[in-house]
Amino acid sequence: QSVLTQPPSVSGAPGQRVTISCTGSSSDIGAGYDVQWYQQLPGTAPKLLVYGNNNRPSGVPERFSASKSGTSASLAIAGLQAEDEADYYCQSYHSTLSGSGVLFGGGTRVTVL
């Protein structure tokens, strides 16, 4: 199964803005499929952070924002806080995979310095 490409890690000081990229292909993100983002705090299950490219579920702070362009997407965290230290995964869909085409990125560890 193909994997969406994310940087293994990003870091920033409290209050800074960090971005996480998610690179796909013309058969997934580039084919128009929406991108989602999940936050996984240490020892917990993933939590839906963004759906439909740039929509936040109820309760997700506005400092989390996302965008999509071409074959890539990105998640931005503004005003980084200690509680944001977690793993973040992007997720989309691959059009040519028979069966289930759900794809996850490899994950990005965000460290608050």
* Alpha-carbon gap, residue 67 to 59, rounded angstroms: 19
* Alpha-carbon gap, residue 1 to 102, rounded angstroms: 9
Contact flag: residue 58 with other proteins (CB under 8 A): no
With CB under 8 A as the contact rule, the residue among 75, 77, 107, 112 that binds other proteins is 107
Contact flag: residue 61 with other proteins (CB under 8 A): no
With CB under 8 A as the contact rule, the residue among 13, 44, 59, 83 that binds other proteins is 44
* Alpha-carbon gap, residue 43 to 85, rounded angstroms: 12
* Alpha-carbon gap, residue 113 to 14, rounded angstroms: 7
Instruction: State the nearest-atom distance from the C-beta of 8 to other proteins, in Å.
Output: 10
Q: Count interface residues toward other proteins (CB under 8 A).
A: 28
